[in-house]
Chain A
Amino acid sequence: MTAEIEYTNLSGISGPLIFVDGVAGVGYGDIVEIRDKTDRLRIGQTLEIDQEKAVVQVFEGTSGLSVTDTRVTFVGRALEIPVDRDMLGRVFDGLGRPIDGAPQVVTDRVMNVNGLPINPWSREYPRDFIQTGISAIDGMNTLIRGQKLPIFSGSGMPHNRIAAQIARQARILTAEEEFTVIFAAMGVKFDVARFFIDSLEESGVLTHSAIFLSLADSPSIERLVTPRTALTLAEYLAFEEGMHVLVILTDMTNYCEALRELSSSRGEIPSRKGYPGYLYSDLASVYERAGRLKGGRGSITQVPILTMPSDDISHPVPDLTGYITEGQIVLERALFNKGIYPPIAGLPSLSRLMKDGIGEGRTRRDHGQVAAQLFASYAKVKRIRALAAIVGEEELSELDKIYLKFGTAFEEIFLRQDYEENRSIEQTLDIGWRMLSLLPKDELYRIGREEIQRYYMPEAENT
């Protein structure tokens, strides 16, 4: 209703924020177009507004802006991106603008990047097993279609390879349906992005993938929009086009750091480690954009990757992520140093949606019990190893020694597999039973008599 007015002077610039005085008719969350002396266009968003002043965050950063000579226009709507099937096979920046040289996709359909909260009533509870071909995931931390399952990693560990392996091998056992990958990179190095693009290309999925890049050399504030842009396209493809979308977000730690930077520029009261008090709610507004809808065909499965600063799982970023996501795949430095790939930690990894996605008719009847027993027995291995470190292995009881043997076999045979190796769930469970059969039957207290009868291998067969 108000004509777009151009404001020519800023009253201040601080980090990614600009302050504009004397504005009228500007809404909270409105998109702002900012042009500097050279007429370069930047996009921003109103964060705070009162009768005469507006606080605006500039997604492309404020470098090169001056208080004078900057022109600001309030567009009067929230940030939107065009969405279309034709965006598959393309590469975009964090704001959804093509950077692969080809022109912008032509479509009438635009969507608000912030999305709207899904009504919990309208969600369909995710139950479809995704076979990733990785035993540590399929067997013990099953990924379910519509789940958000992050990879908690540390610097130098092969989280990118695992994510790429999941993207390449993931399939649904029950049906062949349209499957696509959306990859969003926030603040990562170009070689990481290159690795993913190459890996998607090799496995032939690049032509039906969309890639959003906001690399380490882009302004940090752009990282705050990148996952939302990617998820907006994912929502369109999943819930309007009925596709099954796997969204890989890397690296969420960089996203959180951008949020911290913004919060500190605004002079907000920090909570833990300088991160803003609303980090949880903000992360939730990203992670909760996964799932399935009642009556809809498609789904969004999220695999966010984050690196834990100094491998500390209690750092606010992994901590708050773990409280929102439906489990976590944790990579362990000790396994990594032993040369085991994938170094997926046996105990702290968890899939919360596993219980309803496995078992008879979905994977195999004994799946739940095998997983529970592997967890319990491996936990015992960890205790015994701690003891052995003190008293020496010779002093251990016979049973404890058997457990150590089981522990090594579990890591070397069950966990360890090749980057190219794609195991079926049957194979994974059979390997699981080979491991468990190293233990005496009486130790398998999480498993029913019937299953033991059927799957337990006497020593002779288990070589």
Chain B
Amino acid sequence: MEDVLAGKVIAVNGPIVRAQGLGGIKMFDIAEVGADRLIGEVIRLAGEIAIIQVYEDNTGLKPGDEVISYGRPLSVLLGPGLIANIYDGIQRPLVGISEACGSYIRKGIKLSPLDTQKKWDFRPLVKAGGVAGEGTLLGEVRESPLVMHRVLVPPGVSGKLTKLAPAGAYTIEEEIFTVEAETGTYAGRLAAYWPVRRPRPNRNRKKPVVPLITGQRIIDTFFPIARGGTAAIPGGFGTGKTMTQHALAKWCNADIIVYIGCGERGNEMTDVLTDFPKLIDERNGRPLIERTVMIANTSNMPVPAREVSIYTGVTIAEYYRDMGYSVAVMADSTSRWAEALRELASRLGDMPAEEGFPPYLATRLAEFYERAGLVETLSGSDGDITIIGAVSPPGGDFSEPVTQHTSRFVRCFWALDKTLADARHYPSISWIESYTEYLADIEDWWKTLDARWFDIRNEAMNILLEDHRLEQVVKLVGSDALPPAQQYILLCAETIKNAFLQQNSFDPEDKFCSPEKQIRILSGLLLLYRRGLDLVQKGVGVKQIAALDAVSGLVRLKSEIPNRDLSGIDAHLQRLEEALAALAAAPTGG
């Protein structure tokens, strides 16, 4: 049923092409445009005319050039070989492109997203003859040392499993199984296409209760996100959005990472590409690249492909979710995606809403974030997708449309603060402006580690909030004018900021902080607060406490104590207690 539709270009305006004569073409079908067969997608139909957005540079395209379509929607190829790969926005393999045409991306190049020659060791897990429904687990393939690729019956197919290949090595194009369905026979292979704009189905959605551990103290302790949750990282340029995204992609405990570089810098993607094969995940001793899929549509690559890149990424994420994995999607940056939407809308002559963005911006954002979640998959297992989107508000102004609409659809908001970034306090996540709605959902998980977690967190948060309030006063009268107890709060808050909130993602010990280490350090800081406050009220000087070696030493715990052995923290806290006790015994006034 490969009906080919053929038409002609009638007008070209940047990447937007109008074509005539493609009767019967459907919305979001792929069209191949011009002599170079550039890939495009039908985004609007107006009578006889199909409006196509072209995903490649279309310089030289002219009215009269041919347009053909096979009537298929824009799809991604899902199968083993995605892991450790890097694609452009429409899933063309960048490694293959560089082998085929050198350092620059030439137009019209078409390559299979997955290696069609490579043989994968398939191991069947059921026998032919049984009933096979959507999501039935048929077998598995070792895709990378970290990822067992589960071969499932795809959505929409169910019936009798009439054939299943024996254990052996197969390419993604060889037939592995057949399902005899009412509608006909389905021949299954290791890889299959799925339309990017259609979410993959699941049985039902569940409430997320397990936190995604990121190893970043300010996130895990103060503004945690659940597995299956959504978060936004808004911040002006230079506030560290990309560095925060990189840190999360490196150290969060998801099984699979899909990193989407959407309209961002080329060198930053190169950084990920050179870093991830070298960085070792402490939990399993394997390079991080073995759990990562990358989509890179940098700012100088065609704009329409940027628009589709986040759908390509999230569809790949859903594919692994359906195997029962926990997947984290990093989209950097959703603002560039929104701008691509704006640019295309403007070329289409759409009436703009706020700041030139089309009125459907909010709907599109909502649809994207809605593809996150913890679900019961068609196979009956649990799988989840966490989406973390960076937002780049113009001028760092959070009242702009993309930040505003995004904040309506995410439940975690990690606001980056320019003042913190200027002082090179990273991650520069503001503890005043950020929020999370997942605290109540994941509280129980943390309590299995330490029953006092919630109290510790809240107490520390209160110190920071009190500090913020006092800072307003200090700005007017100076800290020396405050009563000693309040001066002491400033000291404790300062220590929390330097010893806990600030984290160095290049320090071998500090880059990832285990939940246990987070609790220990923070309870140590609270010990300082409670005992010290007591002393201050008894007349011990704030400066005497600040001058203790055991107090200034708190700042170095994060980088000197390894995650695997926390006894050093206890020893330090012991010294702190003794030093404070000594002060209590011999107060010299102050």
Contact = CB atoms under 8 A, between A and B. Distances in A.
Given A120-B298, A271-B355, A316 B394 contact: yes
Given A120-B273, A277-B346, A395-B478, A78 B555 contact: no
Contacts of B150: none
B417 to A, nearest CB: 12
Given A323-B392, A326-B267, A375 B298 contact: no
A51 B19 CA distance: 11
A355 B342 CA distance: 35
B575 interface: no
B104 A51 contact: no
Given A269-B356, A314-B397, A375-B422, A29 B59 contact: yes
B59 A78 contact: yes
B11 interface: yes
B105 A117 contact: yes
Contact of A277 (B97, B339, B477, B559): B339
A272 interface: yes
A288 B299 contact: yes
A350 B238 contact: yes
Interface residues of A, number: 87
Interface in A370-424: 371-372, 375-376, 379-380, 386-387, 390-391, 395-397, 400
Contact of A28 (B59, B271, B475): B59
Given A277-B346, A316-B394, A391-B478, A28 B12 contact: yes
Interface in B150-197: none
B86 A379 contact: no
Interface in B5-63: 10-14, 18, 57-63
A342 interface: no
B406 to A, nearest CB: 17
Interface string B84-107: 001000000011011000111110
Given A119-B98, A281-B299, A293-B103, A355 B506 contact: yes
B103 A118 contact: yes
Given A116-B105, A272-B355, A277-B343, A319 B300 contact: no
Contacts of A371: 424
B498 A445 contact: yes
A375 B267 contact: no
Interface string B267-295: 11111011000000000000000000000
B476 A390 contact: yes
B103 A314 contact: no
A182 B512 CA distance: 44
A395 B480 contact: yes
Contact of B346 (A51, A124, A268, A280): A268
Contact of B95 (A30, A121, A320): A121
Contacts of B59: 27-29, 78, 114
Interface string B210-238: 00000000000000000000000000111
A122 B356 contact: no
Contact of B265 (A122, A324, A372, A400): A324
Interface in A13-59: 24-30, 47-51
Residue among B237, B336, B397, B474 with the highest chain A CB neighbour number at 10 A:
B237
Contact of A319 (B13, B86, B395): B395
A86 to B, nearest CB: 24
B300 A27 contact: no
A118 B266 contact: yes
Contacts of A445: 498, 552, 555-556
Given A25-B64, A50-B10, A269-B352, A291 B238 contact: no
B478 A397 contact: yes
A280 B423 contact: no
A338 interface: no
A49 B336 CA distance: 27
Contacts of A387: 474-475, 478
Nearest to B425: A376
A125 B301 contact: no
A89 B498 CA distance: 53
B422 A347 contact: yes
Given A49-B62, A376-B423, A120 B296 contact: yes
Interface in B55-91: 57-64, 86
B104 A314 contact: no
Given A319-B395, A322-B238, A120 B299 contact: no
Nearest to A25: B62
Contacts of B236: 314, 319, 322
B297 to A, nearest CB: 9
A277 B498 CA distance: 41
A387 B14 CA distance: 54
A288 B474 contact: no
Given A49-B12, A314-B396, A120 B498 contact: no
Nearest to A396: B478
B523 interface: no
A49 B11 contact: yes
Nearest to A346: B422
B155 to A, nearest CB: 32
Interface in A62-101: 77-78
A289 interface: yes
Interface in B248-274: 261, 263, 265-271, 273-274
B103 A294 contact: yes
A431 interface: no
A439 to B, nearest CB: 13
B303 interface: yes
A328 B238 contact: yes
Contacts of B303: 278, 281
10 contacts: A49-B13, A118-B104, A281-B343, A288-B298, A315-B395, A319-B395, A326-B267, A375-B422, A376-B423, A376-B425
Going nearest first, the 5 A-B pairs with the smallest beta carbon separation are A314-B395, A50-B11, A284-B299, A379-B423, A29-B59
Interface of A: 24-30, 47-51, 77-78, 114-126, 146-147, 239, 268-272, 276-278, 280-281, 284-285, 288-289, 291, 293-294, 296, 313-316, 319-320, 322-324, 326-328, 347-348, 350, 352-353, 355-356, 368, 371-372, 375-376, 379-380, 386-387, 390-391, 395-397, 400, 442, 445-446, 448-449
